[in-house]
Amino acid sequence: MKTPEDESHEAEAPLSRTARARARAAALQARAHRVGEQAEAERGRHESVDAVFEMVDRDREVGGGIMAGALAYRFFIWLLPFALVAVGGLGLTSQAASESPEEAAKSLGLAGLVSSSVESAANSPAHWYALLIGLPVLVWVTRSLLRALIVVHRLVWTDLRASAPRPTVGATLLLLALLVGAFAVSALASAARAWSESGGAVVTAGVFFVNLGFWLFISTRLPHRDAPWRFLLPGAAVFAVGIEVIQLLTAYLIAPQASSKQGTYGALGLAAALLLGLYFLMRLVVTAAVVNATLWERRVRSRRPREQSP
């Protein structure tokens, strides 16, 4: 039989647990407040920290995550006719179609995930049909992707609509050639790493500079106000480093997870894994634009007082 003291202790136990939880929450809130104050203090003392805060604010204001999701969807649509032409029409990656998703991803990156899902196209004898259908669709979706890239960079750079370049046929074919070349370089680099482990560092360094030049060239043809090409180098460097990280994540994390879940979710699991990798890639594209736009605006603001002074 419970005594009044036992009943009072049982009533106090939940209250004490609630009080401890509130105390921990208050302590975490106070710690976060102190960290925020320290960050603000560092922001006032160091320009680099202030630049990072400004980049985060700019990314949040323009909706960087939303734009990255829209670009990821556009690029996913682009990969479908690209894989149809490469695997079904030309047979360039027919071996990747018979590999597991993680093996294909290690050799071709994100495109390998798509190639492994169109094995029936690779085995089809009517390769000319894949080319006949795939090539016009590929050009059309490349133009759509280019238009999306122009809009995203115009929003990030807060550029005028009249100064934005048009997705002309020439620019569309140039972007298509650059994207195909980027996938070819990635495949060759993966093959070189597999052939010679000792030369992996050299190949990685070479691919870094190729990716840097690749995105720098594209950035000069997207809205960037009047910034000279050398001021687009920071974003290109961010892209070059990030693309290597994404390739590693795709090969050793995303693709194996997609393979392990393929029996449960089927093609939906592979599509989800691919879209996740594409989102990371397009988040990198938006981040590169944010970095360049922020650093350029900071330079313009710092130059105005000197020009206005007598």
DSSP assignment of 152-178, as one string? HHHHHTT--GGGSPP--HHHHHHHHHH
pLDDT value of residue 200: 63
**CA-to-CA distance for 118 and 270, rounded, in angstroms?**
12
Percent of the chain with pLDDT over 90: 30
Is 17 domain-assigned? Answer: no
pLDDT value of residue 84: 77
Q: Which residue has the higher pLDDT, 90 or 67?
A: 67
Is 158 domain-assigned? Answer: yes
pTM confidence score: 0.73
Is 156 domain-assigned? Answer: yes
Cβ atoms within 10 Å of 67's Cβ, excluding its own: 23
Is 215 domain-assigned? Answer: yes
| 3 φ/ψ angles, rounded to the nearest 5 degrees | -85, 165
Q: Which domain holds residue 125?
A: 61-295
- Ramachandran quadrant class, 164 (left: phi over 0; alpha: psi -120 to 50; beta: rest): beta
pLDDT value of residue 102: 43
**CA-to-CA distance for 131 and 83, rounded, in angstroms?**
11
- Ramachandran quadrant class, 225 (left: phi over 0; alpha: psi -120 to 50; beta: rest): left
Q: Quick check: 64 pLDDT over 70? A: yes
Is 50 domain-assigned? Answer: no
Is 15 domain-assigned? Answer: no
Considering only CA atoms, give the Rg of the chain. 25
User: Of 164, 171, 168, which is closest to residue 224 (Cα–Cα)?
Assistant: 164
Cα torsion angle, 114, 117, 122, 126, sign: negative
**CA-to-CA distance for 148 and 222, rounded, in angstroms?**
11
Is 151 domain-assigned? Answer: yes
| 252 φ/ψ angles, rounded to the nearest 5 degrees | -115, -5
Average of per-residue pLDDT values in the chain: 75
Q: Which of 11-15, 116-120, 204-208 has the highest mean pLDDT?
A: 204-208
Number of domains in the chain: 1
Burial class for 207, CB neighbours closer than 10 Å (0-12, 13-18, 19+):
buried
Percent of the chain with pLDDT over 70: 61
Task: Note whether 151 and 224 are within 8 A (CB).
Answer: no
Task: Note whether 229 and 87 are within 8 A (CB).
Answer: no
What confidence tens digit (pLDDT) does each residue in 178-220 have? 998 888 887 777 777 667 666 666 777 788 899 999 999 999 9
The residues, any chain, with a CB within 8 Å of residue 279's CB and separated by 6 or more, are 68, 69, 72
Residue 126 pLDDT class (50, 70, 90 cuts): low
Is 257 domain-assigned? Answer: yes
